[in-house]
Amino acid sequence: MSKQVVHAACPHDCPDACGVLITVENGRGTKIQGDPEHPVTRGFLCAKVAKYLDRVYSPHRVLYPMRRIAPKGSVLNASGTAESADSSQAFGRISWDEALDEIASRFRSIISEFGSEAILPYSYGGNLGALNAASMDRRFFARLGASQLERSICSSAGEAGLISVLGVKLGTEPEQFVHSRYIIAWAANIHGNNVHLWPFIAEARRKGAKLVVIDPYRTRTAACADWYLPINPGTDSALALAMMHVIIAENLYDADYVAKYTLGFEHLREKVKDYPPQTVSQWTGIDADDIRKLAREYATVQPAVIRLNYGVQRSEGGGMATRAIAMLPCITGSWEHVGGGLQLSTSSAFGLNKEELTRPDLKPDDSNRQPRSVNMVELGVALNTLSDPPVKALFVYNSNPAAVCPNHNEVIRGLKRPDLFTVVHEQFLTDTTDYADIVLPATTFFEHKDLLAAYGHYYLQISNQAIDPLGECRSNVELFRALAGRLGFDDACFGESIDQMIDSALRSKNPWLRGIDRQRLEREKHVRLNFGASGSHSDEVSASAAPYVPFLPFARGNFRTPSGRAELYSEAIKALGLHPVAEFKPASESRHGSERKKFPLEMLARKADNFLNSTFSNVPPVQAMEETGLLEINSADARMRGIADRDRVRVYNQRGEIFLRARVDGTVQPGVVSARLNWAKLTPDGKNVNVLTSEKLSDLGNSATFYSVLVEVESAGD
């Protein structure tokens, strides 16, 4: 009998990056729990990861390499439980050697006929470990000369908006929320997507803080807020500009902070004149008096903090919306206060040595050209229309594009192409493996070691391997190492061990990593970045563990924009043809937009609170927590269409249709409907909400616009 407790870190695409303890008995994981010593995630896990043993030891794990033996698109199951039970009808088991040989020979022949850019890697957030997210894979595809993938499906609009003001992705520490007196959850589904922030907010509220939620959807967080402001989707830039209209007109801004640390305040003062509360009320659906009250309270109750999340930027004007909101703490000076500021992302702080990890300098022997880049949001377009060269091979890992990509019907049309060679490295037989020629088995985080940063806090962790890989599973790192060998790439970097790769990731110029090495991470499990006494990036910091001093990234300016100031006016934004301050432009698919006449209802194609994008959709105890197949609709819109609660409805637009059950419970306002993401093949008609979404890109960052979608709904009988 052996029993040990192994420290790991959750690598799912979630801001919390929890510290995890896995109990292992005789080589088998028997218990998973949160690490009580982790200062932010403090000993609990979200409901889905608390059920992780059911995922790791699921009878439906992909455990061996397989080759397709039936036509693409054979749906392996529609029942929602036994997705691999009849995989033998679609796939035949092969050895790793056979799989690697076949991939290598198909790649060689595609390269000789079409060139290496005919090969497209496709990966996203399945695993955020520094090594398994982006290391050996990037080295491999760079050396191969494959097309580059623009990884823009999630956050690039908001990142561009934030960076246009702050120059960097840094924000308020979650621990500091306990000191806040005014908290705005702005497009932030905290109970659903960022649950470890909640205890800090709850503690602040016990001490008298006010929680305001700005969201078109009444989330659980909204339901328990002190003040819930339902906003019309995609109108947040107007709201932020109206708040600044009031704050500036009533002299509630911090003139000292503005003078010292911002650029372009006079331009902002001019611009916000276009956004008086009365006008903005018509766009946002928020009462003008409420806008005034929000602005006054936000500017005068200090410390005030904004938890902004990425919901605000999944719309056509999402970059500008993030930019406008990010200006708020810069004009009130709330960055100076412990418990003030704003958090969208903390990820820039880690500054791992990505160059070493990903080696963008690697190139095919015969090439000096930078390969073309394909936007992952436009996968359907790429597969169906790209030429010169066409996409002839698709290599999917860390992603489930047949579920998560917009305009699903076009994606599927592309994936069905018989001449497209598709490899999918997966833990489960997903919507995407239904179109794979080769399926390869992937480890879970129980089965490999990695280094984990975070985007919702400032702790770095080592995630240790707890158990041996199940079956013949390999991690992303080991898969691409093996493939590099098969293709004869003999660069030394393909031979680096996991520990060497972790060491090189930590060998960085970032002063906040000073004194943090692998050995220390292994010893201490989680280490807060070394911010030194003031947290200023330019400060000399000592190498030893410092006592906790609150990190205030912009208390004394230190913005990382070209001017070194918070850029309320941006030449870079102007160069993109956008208003250099900020402005509200209605999304074309919205109630005020150019396509408003086509379909009357604004749809939020949301994430599920209990799944993680499409991950966990197939895990029975997690399925039991999440009711799928619902269309949330307001009673006024339902009545108008003769729809009652629980009725079957058809939801459609120019791109597709799905059948759902109406839920009429006041979650959404008139004019807005909502449905949630899950595996398409687990629905009766094999389709999910992404049949309705479009591959139109956002104003900044070429990101996806899952929340700028117009639809119509009709009763569908039974």
Ligand X SMILES: Nc1nc2c(c(=O)[nH]1)N[C@H]1C(S)=C(S)[C@@H](COP(=O)(O)OP(=O)(O)OC[C@H]3O[C@@H](n4cnc5c(=O)[nH]c(N)nc54)[C@H](O)[C@@H]3O)O[C@H]1N2
CB of 17 or CB of 630, closer to ligand SF4: 17
What's the rounded Cα separation, in Å, for the pair 213 and 229?
Answer: 6
Query: Is 192:206 a contact under the CB 8 Å cutoff?
Result: no
Q: How far apart are CA 256 and CA 260, in angstroms?
A: 6
| Beta carbons within 8 Å of 123's beta carbon, 6+ residues apart | 133, 137, 149, 151, 396, 397, 398, 399
Stretch that binds ligand X, among 35-43, 230-238, 518-526, 547-555 (CB under 6 A): 230-238
Closest CA to 170 of 156, 159, 186, 178: 159
Q: Which two tokens stand for residue 21?
A: 């303890």
403 is an interface residue for ligand X by CB under 6 A: yes
Helices (H) and strands (E) in the chain, counts: 26, 27
Least spacing, CB of residue 262 vs ligand X, in Å: 24
Q: Is 561 strand, coil or helix?
A: coil
Q: In whole angstroms, what is the distance from residue 58 CA to residue 430 CA?
A: 14
Pattern 553-592, binding to ligand SF4, x per CB under 6 A? ----------------------------------------
Angle made by CA atoms 16, 668, 676, in degrees to the nearest 5:
50
614 in contact with ligand X (CB under 6 A): yes
Stretch that binds ligand X, among 64-72, 136-144, 181-189, 498-506 (CB under 6 A): 181-189
Give the gyration radius of the chain's Cα atoms: 25
Nearest CA among 672, 699, 665 for reference residue 605: 672
Beta carbon nearer to Mo ion, 402 or 498 = 402
| Contacting residue, 623, 693, 694, 698, with ligand X by CB under 6 A | 693
Residue of 16, 236, 254, 336 that binds ligand SF4 (CB under 6 A): 16
Judged by CB under 6 A, which of 29, 171, 216, 329 binds ligand X?
216
**Choices 41-49, 283-291, 365-373, 486-494 (CB under 6 A): range interacting with ligand SF4:** 41-49
Q: Which residue is nearest to Mo ion (CB)?
A: 154
45 binds, among ligand X, Mo ion, ligand SF4, none (CB under 5 to 8 A by kind): ligand SF4
For residue 155, the minimal CB distance to Mo ion (Å) is 6
Size of the site for Mo ion (CB under 5 A): 1
- The span from the CA of 398 to the CA of 612, in Å, is 13
3-state percent breakdown (helix, strand, coil) of the chain, nearest 5: 35, 20, 45
Name which position in 35, 117, 173, 215 contacts ligand X (CB under 6 A). Answer: 215
Strand order in the sheet with 459-463: 450-452, 459-463, 526-528
Closest distance to ligand X from the beta carbon of 597 (Å): 21
CB 207 within 8 A of CB 215: no
- The two three-digit tokens of residue 499, written as one number: 């520990």
Sequence-ordered strand ranges (E) for 207-251: 210-214, 227-229
Q: Could you say which of 32, 707, 711, 713 contacts ligand X (CB under 6 A)?
A: 707
Could you say whether residue 608 binds Mo ion (CB under 5 A)?
Answer: no
> Cβ distance 344 to 338 under 8 Å?
no
Q: Six-digit token pair at 649?
A: 């409805």
The residues near 280 (Cβ < 8 Å, ≥ 6 apart) are: 235, 238, 239, 241, 242, 245, 286, 288, 291, 584
H or E element in which residue 192 lies:
helix 190-193
* Distance of closest approach, residue 561 Cβ to ligand SF4, in angstroms: 31
Residue 299 has phi, psi (to 5 degrees) of: -80, -20
Least distance in Å: CB of 213 to Mo ion? 20
- Candidates 127, 176, 348, 669; binder of ligand X (CB under 6 A) is 127
Residues in the interface with ligand SF4 (CB under 6 A) total 11
180 binds ligand X, rule: CB under 6 A? no
- Considering only 8, 21, 40, 45, the residue that binds ligand SF4 (CB under 6 A) is 45
Separation between Cα atoms, residue 426 and residue 63, nearest integer Å: 9
CB of 455 to ligand SF4, least distance (A): 10
Among 99, 677, 700, 711, indicate the residue that binds ligand X (CB under 6 A). Answer: 677
Q: Is 124 in the site for ligand X (CB under 6 A)?
A: yes
Q: How far apart are CA 382 and CA 114, in angstroms?
A: 15
Whole-angstrom distance, CA of residue 340 vs CA of residue 303: 5
Task: Kindly give the pairing relationship between strand 3-9 and strand 91-93.
Answer: unpaired
Q: What is 448-506 written as a DSSP string?
A: S-EEE--SSSSEEEEE---SPPSTT-B-HHHHHHHHHHHTT---GGGG--HHHHHHHHH
CA 301, distance to chain mean position in Å, is 31
Q: Which of these ranges, 44-52, 164-172, 518-526, 644-652, lies near ligand SF4 under the rule CB under 6 A? A: 44-52
Kindly state the number of chain residues that form the binding site for ligand X, as judged by CB under 6 A: 61
Amino acid, res. 232: N
Task: Indicate whether 12 belongs to the interface with ligand SF4 (CB under 6 A).
Answer: yes
Q: Which of residues 99-138 bind ligand SF4 (CB under 6 A)?
A: none
Q: Does 51 bind ligand SF4 (CB under 6 A)?
A: no
Q: How far is the CB of 47 from ligand SF4 (least distance, A)?
A: 8
Is residue 38 near ligand SF4 by the rule CB under 6 A? no
- Give residues 145-164 in contact with Mo ion (rule: CB under 5 A): 154
According to the binding rule CB under 5 A, does residue 17 interact with Mo ion?
no
Quote the least distance from Cβ 17 to ligand SF4, whole Å: 5
165, 486 in Cβ contact below 8 A? no
User: What is the smallest separation between the CB atom of 437 and ligand X, expressed in angstroms?
Assistant: 16
Which residue from 290, 276, 309 is spatially nearest to 186, judged by alpha carbons?
309
The single residue among 135, 536, 561, 615 that binds ligand X, judged by CB under 6 A, is 615
| Closer of 17 and 555 to ligand SF4 (Cβ) | 17
Q: How far is the CB of 536 from ligand X (least distance, A)?
A: 28
Give the per-residue contact string, 24-43, with ligand X (x = CB under 6 A; - = no). Answer: --------------------
Shortest distance in whole angstroms from residue 49 CB to ligand SF4: 3
Give yes or no for residue 191 binding ligand SF4 (CB under 6 A).
Answer: no
Q: Which residues bind ligand SF4 (CB under 6 A)?
A: 10, 12, 14, 16-18, 45-46, 49, 195, 612
Q: Which residues bind ligand X (CB under 6 A)?
A: 13-14, 124-127, 132, 153-155, 186-189, 192-193, 214-217, 219, 231, 233-234, 236, 309-312, 314-315, 397-400, 403-404, 425-428, 430, 442, 476, 604-609, 611-615, 677, 689-690, 693, 706-707
